[in-house]
Amino acid sequence: MRLVLSRRGLLAVALFFSLWMQPLWAEADPVRFSLKTPVPQPDQPALIIVADQALTGLSVALLAKEPDPALGAASGESGEHKFAAKKLGAGQKATFKLGTGKVGATHWEGMITATVGGEVWKRPVTFDTVLTRTLQIGYDKNYVSPHLNVEKRFVELTLSGPAGRAEMEVFSDEGIKMGEGKASFAGEAPGTWLRIPWDGTSAAQNESVVLRLSVKLFDKDGASAHINLYPWFVSVPHEDVNFDTSSAEVRESEKAKLDESLRRITTVLDRVEKTLLKWSEQGVMMGALPQPMLFVTGHTDTVGADGDNLTLSRSRAKAIAAYFRQKGFRMPIYFVGYGERSPRVHSGDNVDEARNRRADYTLTLQPPPTLSGTSWSKL
């Protein structure tokens, strides 16, 4: 029997088991029964009948009634519902979908009839089912946004139903649980941004960072939906490469710096790939694994024209990306040039400031936003 033990459905399962343990049928009965409940839309609760002996003329007549209020809101199902199967061999089963797809709880009473060995067999049945609403969780796909702040430890999501509460677990890119959070809501309208904070419970090792947020949201009736978010974002520390004036060629004397940067990048990637693969094997992640990517951003000082500096910074970022590829880097690499528009140290125009002549290396699972008028290019 397939059981989903939600808070609202637990009583339904308990009631069913109390009926199951009573003599609904004797050992000599030709069939066994089970229920599929509670279930979310668009699925429907079902009565499953398995024949232990060959039978013909199987019929089920059920009357839908108001449920016990403890099961939650009534579905509004009513009237008589009839099902039939002409013939079942020993070991075969028949599955009958119950109700018309209305959300809520339903109490069922009725009779099952069949012909076995030329004799008519009958058995009364009574049970409860619950159909829950299908909820949709919304999130800002741009992880660099007001709706997510890893440093301040909160995420904001939306729900397609009136909000009830939230539960969250936070995992590092080493697979370690880094924190957890809970939030209660007051029936906020669908589409409202719901803030869910988290607290750290254990320290991550080896400079690892947040990789996965596992969030479960409940509406005010107790129906739930789950989502995994992957706001993994690593800015790799490194020693800046020095280029000759107006040049994008990597000098021989600077290659050792890039080799060390690549070593650090590979260390981070090995860690996150191992964790993603483990989660995939455990069934935490379904489908294709997220693809880590490297993003190289080039910058210049304020010497020269803005347009020239944009072109120069982009060429330098591309040269660094090409060097990493030449050294065997296997992941996708993207590059962009910001010129003098995002300085590390603010200065006046035409100031030769070495700290602004740099490149940033970012590892993430999706492209970060870029400055207006610029975009990522793939190597």
Cα 6 from Cα 46, distance rounded (Å): 17
Tokens of 90: 């020993």
- Alpha carbon distance 78, 260 (integer Å): 71
Rounded to whole angstroms, the Cα distance separating 299 from 346 reads 13
DSSP state of 246: T
Domain-embedded: residue 2: no
Would you say residue 1 lies in a domain?
no
Could you tell me which residue, 138 or 17, shows the higher pLDDT?
Answer: 138
Give the CA count within 13 Å in the CB-facing half-sphere of 116: 19
The mean pLDDT value of the chain amounts to 88
Out of 88, 103, 132, a domain closes at 132
Asked if the structure places residue 53 within a domain, the reply is yes
Going by C-alpha positions, the residue among 374, 249, 368, 259 that lies closest to residue 319 is 249
Q: What is the pLDDT of residue 15?
A: 36
Residues 167 and 294 in one domain: no
Distance CA 375, CA 297 (A): 10
pLDDT at 10: 36
CA distances from 117 to 54, 57, 72, 139 (A): 8, 12, 42, 59
Q: How far is CA 95 from CA 32, 38, 46, 61, 352, in A?
A: 12, 15, 6, 14, 77
Please enumerate in sequence order all residues whose Cβ is within 8 A of that of 137, keeping only pairs 6 or more positions apart, or say none: 157, 158, 159, 160, 215, 217, 225, 226, 227
What is the three-class DSSP state of 311? helix
Residue 357 covered by a domain: yes
The CATH number given to whatever domain includes residue 128 is 2.60.40.1940
Domain count, the chain: 3
Residue 20 pLDDT: 36
CATH, residue 283: 3.30.1330.60
The CA angle 232-223-95, to the nearest 5 degrees, is: 110
**Whole-number Å distance between alpha carbons of 138 and 227:** 9
Same domain, 220 and 239: no
Q: Is residue 240 part of a domain?
A: yes
Helix (H) or strand (E) holding 175: none
User: Crossing angle for the helix pair 255-282 and 306-326, nearest 10 degrees?
Assistant: 70
Say if residue 44 is in the same domain as residue 152. Answer: no
The average pLDDT across 109-131 equals 94
Residues 223 and 238 both lie in one domain: no
Query: Is there a single domain that holds both residue 243 and residue 344?
Result: yes
User: pLDDT at position 36, please?
Assistant: 93
For residues 190 and 290, the model is more confident at: 190
Looking at residue 18, its pLDDT comes to: 34
> Is the same domain home to 115 and 208?
no
Q: Please indicate, yes or no, if residue 305 is contained in any of the structural domains.
A: yes
Distance CA 106, CA 68 (A): 9
Burial label for 186, CB within 10 Å (0-12, 13-18, 19+), is: exposed
Could you tell me if 238 and 356 lie in one domain? yes
Residues 323 and 361 in one domain: yes
Angle 310-313-314 from CA coordinates, rounded to 5°: 85
Percent over 70 (pLDDT), the chain: 91
**What is the DSSP code (8-state) at residue 354?**
G
Label residue 258 by pLDDT band (50, 70, 90).
Answer: very high
Residue 202 is predicted with a pLDDT of 54
How far apart are the C-alpha atoms of 93 and 87, rounded to whole Å?
10
Task: Flag whether 253 is in a domain.
Answer: yes
CA–CA distance, 368 with 296 (Å, rounded to integer): 11
Q: Is 98 inside any structural domain?
A: yes
Query: Of the residues 210, 231, 252, which one is the last residue of a structural domain?
Result: 231
Which tens digits make up the pLDDT trace of 365-374? 989 889 999 9
Which CATH number is 183's domain given?
2.60.40
Q: Which of 184, 210, 231 is the last residue of a domain?
A: 231
Amino acid letter, 63: L
| Domain extent at residue 33 | 7-132
Helices (H), the chain: 7-21, 255-282, 306-326
Token look-up 């209305």 returns: 102
Whether residue 126 sits in one domain with residue 141: no
pTM above 0.75, yes or no: no
Residue 207 pLDDT > 80: no
**Residues 122-143, mean pLDDT to the nearest whole number:** 90
> Are 83 and 213 within one domain?
no
Q: What is the pLDDT of residue 26?
A: 52
Same domain? For 305 and 357 the reply is yes
d(Cα 162, Cα 144) in Å, to the nearest integer?
27
- On whether both 75 and 146 belong to a single domain, the answer is no
Confidence tier at 27 by pLDDT (50, 70, 90): low
Residue 206 confidence (pLDDT):
58
